[in-house]
Amino acid sequence: MLTASPLVGRHALVTGAGSGIGAAIARTLASAGARVTLAGRQREPLDALAEEIGQASFVADGFDVTDAAAIARGLDAARAAFGPVSILVNNAGQAPSAPFEKTSAEMWNHVIGVDLTGVFQVTQAALPALKAHGEGARIINIASTAGLTGYAYVSAYCAAKHGVIGLTRALALELAKKGVTVNAVCPGFTDTPIIRRSIATIVEKTGRSAEEALAEFTRSNPQGRLVQPQEVADTVLWLASPGAGSVTGQAIAVAGGEIMAG
């Protein structure tokens, strides 16, 4: 059972914190007592979120997960603000779509670089602090149901997210005796700005209504709806909390029953 403030005294870093799932995670961890570093490339949305959260937040803008030097600067600034990171949430990601034969090497490399190599680079940079914290340290990777199954027209994204889940499982075994748990959260289609932009694009290109476009994203969910960012954030909160100490190496689908792990 979660207590009212299970993360008091903890420092969480959330990448891609400026909107959508990342912002919901940051709010939720802060409400549970954590001090939260809001990491992202653009300062304006991070500042707006920091104003909302208050003194429990620190903005690390210019945090490009594909740039090792930017990651190092961001972690140094975060440590100066709140001390060593003991909860890492790798949320930054991109999901451009294209048929496979029209997926350029540039697009492929960009998606792999942000969605998979970015997780590798940030985790590797933060790992000394996480291992030093030991028992109770957490690495939580925001993957996707695309890491558990296939979807048409997002081959690079599917490949990257499958890689994130593989990395999660491997690292969980390496760190099992260090007290550091490593898990992946795999949302289905979620009500975020990315989905809203996708719906607008479908409407523009096909002439279908917004309701018809939305149905393209909800039909695979047995509950017939989009996942809410708060539902993903609540799963992250549970994994970050003391009660999830024996949960590691898992890929947890938050998808209304679309994916049922065996």
Integer Cα distance of 137 and 204 in angstroms: 46
Quick one: which of 117, 249, 91 has its CA closest to 170? 249
Question: Token match 């350029």: residue?
Answer: 104
Question: Token match 């890929």: residue?
Answer: 251
Whether 36 and 26 have beta carbons less than 8 Å apart is answered as yes
Residue 232 CA: distances (Å) to CA of 60, 142, 153, 175? 22, 9, 24, 24
Whether 103 and 54 have beta carbons less than 8 Å apart is answered as no
Residue 176 CA: distances (Å) to CA of 88, 133, 137, 243, 249? 16, 14, 11, 16, 9
Q: Among the options 63, 82, 157, 189, which is catalytic?
A: 157
Whether 183 and 232 have beta carbons less than 8 Å apart is answered as no
151 is catalytic: no
Integer Cα distance of 180 and 208 in angstroms: 48
Residues 6+ apart with CB under 8 A from 33: 5, 6, 7, 8, 9, 10
- Would you state the structure tokens that stand for residue 36, as one six-digit string? 């939260």
Catalytic residue set = 157
